[in-house]
Amino acid sequence: MVGVAATDDDAKVTSFSSRGRKPSYNGVTNYDRREVLANTRDHYENGGGSGPFGIYRNGVGANGNSVVSTMAPNDPLRGTDNGDNESLARPYYAAISGTSMSCSMTACVTALINDAYRQNNGEFPAPIDVLNTLEATARDARTDHNPHNIGAGYIDADAAVERPEAANLAGFDEVELARSGETPEFVFTPNGSRADDGSVFTAGQTNQVDITLTETDTEAVVRDTIPFG
């Protein structure tokens, strides 16, 4: 099982999103999925184990704010007013917000992971391998991301599918949770020009920029701030 946070279009966790327990919570707080799995197996196989048996954080996050989808005209949840473009959402489409939408997007990515692995390896992967791959390929994209509100970060469908295509599903050791705390000053600021090869319609926007650091004199945390600000 994986909890899913709801984010805005810019990957910021929404105010209505579900959240896990903060480290300061007065009670059981656990973010380690491997420990939970081991404790649960021990409990069912040997009748022992003192816990924890739960994971008190979101696993990943996905867009859950004003997501347009098909909807019956008489559904009580439909009817988000889109202003001048309202006619585009009627009568069979509507924009709604909630973790129901972010969970649906995440479920689609897990389906892609399963399908890619089966097509290239002839069998379905173990559920825990799917969860680890989903979390290991998520992006810690915002300074306000932390383990209890978004877990490992914002889902990345492309990266998640590349792993099973290469029969290289992620393990527990590859899952890194979002970094908490203040963001230090920027060490450098990239700049330059962009040329569009026409292979993908981007509406004039930059979708992704890859930067490779070959050497650092201290631990570096890189957050993708494009196109998020």
Which structure tokens are listed for 31?
């973010």
**199 belongs to a structural domain:** no
Most confidently modeled of 45-54, 106-115, 177-186, 218-227? Answer: 106-115
Number of domains present in the structure of the chain: 1
**62 belongs to a structural domain:** yes
pLDDT surpasses 60 at 223 = no
More confident residue, 205 or 7: 7
**214 belongs to a structural domain:** no
Per the prediction, the chain carries an average pLDDT of 80
> What does the pLDDT look like over 97-140, one tens digit per residue?
899 999 999 999 999 999 999 999 999 999 999 999 999 999 98
**28 belongs to a structural domain:** yes
**185 belongs to a structural domain:** no
**91 belongs to a structural domain:** yes
Q: Residue 56's closest CA among 141, 117, 147?
A: 147
More confident residue, 56 or 111: 111
**223 belongs to a structural domain:** no
**217 belongs to a structural domain:** no
Residue 33's CATH number: 3.40.50.200
Tell me how crowded residue 104 is: count the other CB atoms within 10 A of its CB. 15
Q: In which domain, by residue range, is 54 found?
A: 4-174
Name the phi and psi angles at 109, rounded to 5.
-65, -40
| pLDDT at residue 67 in the model | 87
Helix H or strand E encompassing 150: helix 147-150
Tell me how crowded residue 33 is: count the other CB atoms within 10 A of its CB. 20
> What is the maximum alpha-carbon separation in the chain?
63
In DSSP terms, which residues pair with 68 in a beta bridge? 95
